[in-house]
Structure 1
Amino acid sequence: MVSSMRRGQKAWIRLLLLLLITFWENGSCQLHYSIPEEAKHGTFVGRIAQDLGLELTELVPRLFRLASKGHRDLLEVNLQNGILFVNSRIDREELCGRSAECGIHQVFHVEVEVKDINDNPPVFPVTVKTLLFHESRLLDSRFPLEGASDADIGVNALLSYKLSSSEFFFLDTQTNDELSQSLSLVLGKPLDREQTPEVNLLLVATDGGKPELTGTVQILIKVLDVNDNEPTFAQSVYKVKLLENTPNGTLVVKLNASDADEGSNSELVYSLSSDVSSTIQTKFNIDPSSGEIRTKGKLDFEEAKFYEIQVTATDKGTPSMSGHCKISLKLVDINDNTPEVSITSLSLPIPENASPGTVIALIRVSDRDSGNNGQVTCSLTTHVPFKLVSTFKNYYSLVLDSALDRESVSAYELVVTARDGGLPSLWATATVSVEVADVNDNAPGFPQPEYTVFVKENNPPGCHIFTVSARDVDVQENALVSYSLVERRVGERALSSYVSVHAESGKVYALQPLDHEELELLQFQVSARDAGVPPLGSNVTLQVFVLDENDNAPVLLVPRAGAAGGAVSELVPRSVGPGHVVAKIRAVDADSGYNAWLSYELQPAAGGARSLFRVGLYTGEISTTRALDEADASLQRLLVLVKDHGEPALTATATVLVSLVESSQSPKASSRALAGATGPEASLVDVNVYLIIAICSVSSLLVLTLLLYTALRCSAPPTEGSRRPGKPVMVCSSAVGSWSHSQQRRQRVCSGEGPPKTDLMAFSPSLPDSRDREDQPQ
């Protein structure tokens, strides 16, 4: 028998080699290796990279790895030389049980056959078995024995039995049609309890492996007296088929044994053999009187496909005798198991710039049922940029089918559905969460390309004037935005000496007090840059307008040389009439707008008397109000108040000493006055004429501009977008006049394109009617 099995194995090996050659010639990627179990770590299995036609340099970039079904660490591949080797201990019995075929299937369709070695000795159910024999037992009486079991397969599981020498018993071994052996202990010589009350035997089971392994059981036979007929069954083996998942209490078989004795010695009690496993005891129940065997637990085809139940019928004689039979129960499979889905992630999260065809995960499906009930097909959620590719039986690869964009969809919940071929079919689902990893493909963006900021001058150092904010649609470090100034020169100084920007918050700070008179407009750029690799960035322009405050009081021009204590001295003949200009007060204000618009007032004389003089509200010219007479004091002290229109208003005062002289003294006094003016006063140019000319010129230009603007406005309807951000128009008004100040017209503009520029502002006040109407600026 052993030689025939070896010839069958050789034929099977030749057939397998022929099939492998055929598959190889047809372009199949199936590989088959064989190794003995219990091989040491590092044992060579095969040159898998060479057999698969892969270059060694391709193994690492292609993520070459093993993904065995439930046995990830048994085998491993050396990525440097492409050799498949044993990674950890392989126990064939633990891996495949008693299955004749045992293999480890890999993702690259490599089947590694694990060959059995004789590493398991035969094992009996018990170490000591006690048998009861009546002294009246006939010769050739048989008592069935439970054989040993061997976890190995093939020749290593072929058992032979040997009984220790005995004058009373010998061992009978029979092989049935299922190649299983039935052992019986046969009585070869009549027993005499008075001479031999007990018989001790040793049963040795030897397997067919090399070297041979053995197992033993001690048999203790007790010789009983009197009742010498044992119960017998109609069949020694009952074969039954039953559907799995049958309800509890389902009848399996009804046994009927007989006993040739009479009376109580023929009354039988049925029971399960004491040798049966605990599994049999939990699954089945036998009625001791009727012999009916019924189910009492769940029968699952996937747990066990068949059961062998040993039954004993015992009479009530003294001593009692028993008969034995075996029920061979075969379960029939039904479609009661849903498919199972196992997912192994390889490339998660997946970068959004991954190319189509990238393998994301490996999917293995299985079904514990058999036949069509265990045939599983797999499908994927529709309308997603992924697809399933079948790579081997019950193995699929989840691959990228089209391009990804994390900013559009940042994650996918994929549902894998596995459906079997049963009627009705059962199905199961598994969810794969595919997160799309961000790459730095978006630069930070500002809501506007340009911002206009208004800051009052004389701000405290380090004050917050504006906050820029850029948004990056990427995530993590790719969306981490930092801000910085685009450095340049502002006049003679660096931009960073005026302002700074916080790198994280984007807050813009003025590092020093700003002076409207020095810098009216500060234009610069702020850069926003992310932390990606490579970093991306963008710029935004800030126009900071420094608004004027009334921080400069009017300043009087230097009086003529020779004036005592800074006062202006004038000689006036008494013969002058009303309206004669005596003197003119000149003052300037460093501010702009209303803050620089000066007006002149003459402080009233003591006692409320009407003054001989008046001062022009805007010209500063001091003139007589009436004809002078002899009663008027020869020395008139006038106090002129110069005031701007700021809030609060700032003032300066000028003192004018007017000496009234007779007409004959006037030329001499005038000559002396002119002689005294040959110093610094002679070097000053009277600016009144120039101011008047400039004001008239600018006023004319303003009128022409307004006429042109009115014509354009009339010819084209206004739109909401005609006034762009960053170029507002500020309209000022007061009780004494109004004007428009455009932010495009600046006194001193520093934007880095050139030196500061100077513009002249024109005022067109509206004044109330008064007797001083003629003193309005011409």
Structure 2
Amino acid sequence: MGVSKKGVLGARQLLFSILFGTAWDIGSCQVHYSVPEEAKHGTFVGRIAQDLGLEVGELVSRLFRVVSKGRRDYLEVNVQNGILFVNSRIDREELCGRSPVCSIHLEVIVDKPLQVFHVEVEIKDINDNPPVFPEKQQNVFISESRLLDSRFPLEGASDADIGPNSLLKYQLSHNDYLTLEMITKNDKRILPELVLHKLLDREETPEISLLLTATDGGKPELTGTVELLITVLDVNDNPPKFDKSEYKIKLLENSPNGTLMIKLNASDSDKGINGEVSYGIKRISPESEKCIFIMNSVTGDIRIRGELDFEDNSLYEIQVTATDRGAPPMVGHCTILLEVVDVNDNDPEVSVTSLSLPVLEDAPPGTVIALISVSDRDSGANGQVTCSLSPPGPFTLVSTFRNYYSLVLDSSVDRESVPAYELVVTARDGGTPVLSATARVSVGIGDVNDNAPSFEQPVYTVFVKENNPPGHHIFTVSASDPDAQENALVSYSLVERRIGERPLSSYVSVHSESGKVYALQPLDHEELELLQFQVSAWDSGFPPLGSNVSLQVFVLDENDNAPAVLSPHSGDSPVTELVSQSVAVGHVVAKIRAVDADSGYNAWLSYELLPEVGVGRSPFRVGLYTGEISTTRSLEESDGPRKMLFVLVKDHGEPALSATATVSMSFVESGLSVKALSFNAAAAAAGPAPEAGLRKEAALVDVNVYLIIAICSVSSLLVLSLLLYVALRCSAPPQGVYEPGKTTLVCSNGVENWSYSQQRRQKFCSGETSVKTDLMAFSPNLPPFLGGVDGQEQKKEQDVLKFVSQIRFGIHEILYDS
């Protein structure tokens, strides 16, 4: 026992061979041990950890293990001390037959880093098999006429051992007629022969019984015996003779059943029946269940019955006899050595041992995935096997030792692109024709957290009506993660910020699992028209990855604010308006100003004069949308000196809200004009102003000039806008496509269109101001535009219409303010 010098040198050289850079290292070395067969359990074989250069204390942590291909667990390693010992009974003859070399090949595998060692344990033969004769008794017929020194071949014994343990010597029991001599054949076999050294006399000695003992060369020696029964025959002087004492024949192992192997011919110089020869097979060694040989006793033909198999037996020894018909018959002997020639009739065999499955997608190139061993029962080129891998991809085969390969990761992998690979390992031999075998290896890719959750678009626009109930669901965000299991489990949270003096979390919240966004309190359009914030999505991987999405929450107005009348006509003590009794019909005597905190239609106000109880037709009317109070007829004495008017101000909401304005009218005599009264009151308070009227008239002239210029400018812009609109309508639609990722308008709570309002600046005018037409300007209700060619065309139309509407509104404002 022990490690051979050659094995140690080979192990040291191969141990330091670097195969795959710094990512991993496999030591392709071989350590050689030897152990005798039939060794007891626990027999020491070698200090394998020390001989492989491994630390004994690291064997457990590095997952030290031994793999034996196609064998029982004859050998085992104690991971506490690194000693290789015999685990179960080893019978060399059962394991390897008569092969001159018998070894057990082991693969030693350790991790961190991964290393693979190849260890060969040679099984030494011991002398545990005695010589065995094929029969318990051999009959030898010797004619009494045989001359001295005549030789009579005997059947030798066989020994299952090899080497010196199978070298046999023979010994014959004492007698007066025959001695024993050894004949060495060409194949080094030693066979016994009897030599006649004293003439026989059948009448004196018809039979001789001898004991032949065979002794092998082992220590201790083992023996086997056979009884020799010598029968002395009467004179039939000449035995049949073959042309040769030994014939050598070669046949291919795929020779068909019934193939003629050889035609033998033996001659006998005797006459008559003493010269008639019949043939027979005396012994076939080794015996085979697949193939037997049939001999024609008359013609001497030997044919195959069954099939020759090189892998079963590569050499046959056939002993043939030729017997004449004399009395007693005489026998001639010859030996046929049949060599079976190998043909490529065995497919290669492939064995796969998985090591690192599944493969994580962040595994570095050079990671060993599996060990692959190949073998072929044929010999020579027929048994030389090469391996290839298909289909091409991020894996490769690396030869680590004779008939051993490693399946190695060659480049990076991505589970989201390819979750698993189905690989085929193909082994081909070097015979003609080439035979091959395949083995499939399923390599699953393990997920790592390399993808952050992602939203379909970066910004979402949401519309919510104000005065929503607390806890109202306003939107649901959803992010997807292409990873698997916990790496794809997404949770949501708010990106905290402050809205004015309050934190964002006091307005909205998001459910961590479903992504539903809730309004925690009623939203007020008048307080907050737009709420902008971000929601984060994080996966549950390690480390977690996340991304943000922006939400624009537009708070839509509801009619929750009543109109408010501005002074001087609000409150309990309204200002008295002075009206001349001679005022013309249609003259504006007062103007009601009111505002509404709402927007759009909810802030569109209308004015209505409440009828007086018990009074006929009122001399006043109020503009439906202007709030201007004007006369409808001439004032009469029956109207009295004073009149109290009540104006109802309503918005256009659903339901409509209203407020009441009180106007006190005081009628003055026809000789005094309202302007004069007003002027006198102002003069009394501010002193004399002799040229005030002239300055006022000059100011009015300047205002009219500016008004004309503004009207001309705005009209020009209106004409240009209309021309631009017509040109866009007549032009060919652009070949546009929908661009993903643009902000999508999302309507909530049943709101399905855009609605805008423009709040006008109200002015209250009195005196000789001319009557004005009631004006209201609204932007058109425009649905969200669609994608594609039609959608882009629709969007252009909407932009132009909005622009035209804004210009129209500007013109109306200028006219009204003037």
CA distance in 2, matches of 1:520, 1:413: 58
What is the deviation of 1:186? 10
CA offsets per residue over residues 381-432 of structure 1, 9 Å max, x none? Answer: 6975555544333333444455555566665565655554456655555555
| 1:299 counterpart SS class | coil
1:96 aligns with 2:96: yes
Could you say if the C-alpha distance between residues 149 and 638 of structure 1 is closer, same or farther in structure 2, counting changes exceeding 3 Å? farther
**Counterpart residue number, 2:250:** 241
User: d(CA) in 2 for partners of 1:372 and 1:764?
Assistant: 93
Report matched runs for 1:671-710 at 5 Å. none
Q: Which amino acid aligns with 1:347?
A: S
Unaligned runs of 5+ in 1: 1-12, 665-699, 743-762, 768-772
1:737 alignment partner AA: A
Which of 656, 672, 678 is equivalent to 1:650? 656
Task: Check if 1:600 corresponds to 2:645.
Answer: no
Alpha-carbon distance change, 125 to 737 in structure 1, aligned in 2, over 3 angstroms:
farther
Cα distance between partner residues in 2 of 1:570 and 1:276: 145
Match of 1:484 in 2: 493
Question: CA 1:206 to 1:468, structure 2 compared with 1: closer, same or farther past 3 Å?
Answer: farther
SS at match of 1:362: strand
Aligned residues of 1:135 and 1:228 also touching (Cα < 8 A):
no
Mapped to 2, the partners of 1:372 and 1:404 lie a distance apart of: 38
Question: Deviation string for 1:61-98 (max 9, x for gaps)?
Answer: 87765444434844445556544444444333333222
Q: Which amino acid aligns with 2:599?
A: S
Alignment of 1:169-180 (within 5 A): 175-180=184-189
Within a 5 Å distance, the mapping from 1:13-52 to structure 2 comes to: 19=6, 29-52=29-52
CA shift, 1:332, in A, is: 1.6
Letter in 2 for 1:104: I
By how many angstroms is 1:245 displaced? 1.2
Contact 1:67 1:106 in 2 (8 A): yes
Mapping of residues 275-294 of structure 1, within 5 Å: 279=288, 282-287=291-296, 289-294=298-303
Q: How far is the alpha carbon of 1:207 from its aligned partner?
A: 4.8
Equivalent residues of 2:284, 2:317 under 8 A apart: no
More divergent stretch after superposition (205-214 vs 450-459): 205-214
- Post-superposition Cα deviations, 1:246-281, rounded to whole Å, max 9, x if no partner, equal 233221112345789999998777665588777357
SS of 2:34 mapped into structure 1: strand
Gaps of at least 5 residues in structure 2 are 16-28, 108-116, 671-709, 729-733, 747-752, 759-774, 783-804
Note the alpha carbon deviations across 1:288-325, whole angstroms, 9 max, x for none: 55342222333222232112345577889999998876
User: Secondary structure of 2:288's partner?
Assistant: helix
Q: How does 1:499-538 map to 2 (within 5 A)?
A: 499-510=508-519, 514-538=523-547
Confirm or deny that 1:298 pairs with 2:311.
no
Give the 3 Å change call, closer, same or farther, for CA 465–560 of structure 1 in structure 2. Answer: closer
Change (3 A) 1:209 1:738: same
- CA RMSD, aligned part only? 6.0
- The answer to whether the aligner puts 1:392 opposite 2:401 as a matched pair is yes
- Alignment of 1:348 with 2:357, yes or no, is yes
Using a 3 Å threshold, how does the CA distance of structure 1 residues 338 and 522 change in structure 2: closer, same or farther?
A: same
Q: In the alignment, which residue of structure 2 is the partner of 1:444?
A: 453
Distance 1:280 1:320 in 2: 32
Once residues 191 and 630 of structure 1 are traced to their aligned partners in structure 2, the CA distance between those partners, rounded to angstroms, is 190
Equivalent pair of 2:453/2:547 in contact (CA under 8 Å): yes
* 1:676 matched residue in structure 2: none
Mapped to 2, the partners of 1:88 and 1:220 lie a distance apart of: 42
Following TM superposition, by how much is the alpha carbon of 1:526 offset from its aligned partner in structure 2, in angstroms? 1.6
Counterpart mapping for 1:189-268 below 5 A: 207-211=216-220, 234=242, 237-256=246-265
Alignment of 1:626 onto 2:633: yes
Q: CA–CA distance in 2 between the matches of 1:272 and 1:76?
A: 48
Contact 1:619 / 1:776 at 8 angstroms: preserved in 2?
A: no
- What SS does structure 2 have at the residue aligned with 1:279? coil
CA distance 1:254–1:510, shift in 2 (3 Å): farther
Query: Contact 1:602 / 1:638 at 8 angstroms: preserved in 2?
Result: yes
Is the 8 Å Cα contact of residues 8 and 51 (structure 2) preserved in structure 1? no
Task: Indicate which of 309, 316, 322 corresponds to 1:307.
Answer: 316
* CA deviation string 1:602-661 (max 9, x = no partner): 467899985443223235455542234466699999775543234x45243749798999
Aligned residues: 684
Change (3 A) 1:27 1:630: closer
Are the equivalent residues in 2 in contact too, given 1:253–1:293 (CA < 8 A)? yes
**Percent of aligned pairs sharing the same letter:** 60
What CA deviation, in whole Å up to 9, does each residue of 1:671-696 have, x standing for no partner? xxxxxxxxxxxxxxxxxxxxxxxxxx
Q: Is the 8 A contact 1:147 1:183 kept in 2?
A: no
Instruction: Indicate if the aligned counterparts of 1:352 and 1:438 stay in contact, CA closer than 8 A.
Output: yes
1:591 is aligned to 598
The alpha-carbon deviation at position 469 of structure 1 amounts to: 3.6
CA distance in 2, matches of 1:97, 1:21: 28
- Find the aligned partners of 1:190 and 1:604 in 2 and give their Cα distance: 174
Give the alignment partner of residue 737 of structure 1, picking from 777, 783, 789: 777
Specify the alignment match of 2:675 in structure 1: none
Structure-1 residue corresponding to 2:769: none
Offset at 1:450? 2.9
Paired letter, 2:604: W
> CA 1:607 to 1:63, structure 2 compared with 1: closer, same or farther past 3 Å?
same
Q: Matched residues in 2 for 1:119 and 1:314: separation? A: 38
Mapped partners of 1:550, 1:223: distance in 2: 139
Match of 2:463 among 454, 464, 474: 454
**C-alpha separation between the residues in 2 aligned to 1:95 and 1:266?**
49
Q: State the AA in 1 paired with 2:189.
A: S
Shift of the 661–638 alpha-carbon distance from structure 1 to 2, 3 Å rule, reads: closer
Q: Distance in 2 between matches of 1:622 and 1:167?
A: 169
Q: How does 1:76-115 map to 2 (within 5 A)?
A: 76-78=76-78, 81-107=81-107, 108-115=117-124
Q: Is the 8 A contact 2:561 2:657 kept in 1?
A: no
CA deviation after TM superposition for structure 1 residue 531, in Å: 2.4
Aligned partner of 2:339: which letter? K
How far apart, CA to CA, are the structure 1 residues paired with 2:484 and 2:247? Answer: 72
TM-score norm. by structure 2 comes to: 0.64
Deviates more, 1:231-240 or 1:519-528: 231-240
Contact 1:618 1:775 in 2 (8 A): no
Do the aligned partners of 1:737 and 1:765 also contact (CA within 8 Å) in 2?
no
In 2, are the aligned partners of 1:96 and 1:102 still within 8 Å (CA)? yes
CA shift in 2, pair 1:286/1:361, >3 Å: same
Partners of 1:462 and 1:205 in 2: CA distance: 106
Equivalents in 1 of 2:78, 2:555: separation in Å?
A: 72
Do residues 360 (structure 1) and 361 (structure 2) align? no
Q: Is the 8 A contact 2:374 2:427 kept in 1?
A: yes
Indicate the residue corresponding to 1:725 in structure 2.
Answer: 743
> Distance in 1 between the 2:263 and 2:509 partners?
99
Local SS of the residue matching 2:101: coil
More moved, 334-343 vs 652-661 = 652-661
Could you tell me how far apart the structure 1 residues matched to 2:330 and 2:576 are?
161
| Partners of 2:99 and 2:311 in 1: CA distance | 14
1:154 matches 2:196: no
Name the SS of the counterpart of 1:737 in structure 2: coil
